[in-house]
Amino acid sequence: MVEGLSHITFVVKNLDLMEELLVKIFDAKKVYDSGDDTFSISRERFFDIAGLWIAIMEGVSQTEKSYNHVAFKIDDAQYDDYLGRIKTLGLEIKPGRERVEGEGRSIYFYDFDNHMFELHTGTLTQRLWRYKSGK
């Protein structure tokens, strides 16, 4: 039986650059740094973001961008603050998709290795209720 999400791993070309992104945008707390040791396939660092284990491993960046992404929940009142954090790092921000009122707002952006992230203000319950009620 699956008990929940264990961790999410991102392969990145520059551990320091990704650490800066995780700390400045997501308020991540670094909990481990392998240094020059390689217990796994490469040097790695672990972070805690709101109780979620995020791992970054040194390696080759993704060559293509896609809509595959990880979405983090934020409060709508903090939307502009997070947008500013992303802009400060010079990251590519994608236009949000068309939405129906009541399902929340999103900020989509790419990191330095072509991983897409989303910061979303809504919940699954809100989205299902809104979709059920029609356009």
d(CA 110, CA 99): 20
Could you give the residue ranges of the DSSP H alpha helices within the chain? 15-26, 79-88, 124-133
Contacts (Cβ under 8 Å, ≥6 apart) of 55: 7, 8, 9, 10, 44, 45, 46, 47
- Say whether 101 is catalytic: no
> Which tokens sit at 38?
């390689």
Catalytic residue among 3, 19, 20, 44: 44
- Polymer length in residues for the chain: 135
Active site residues: 44
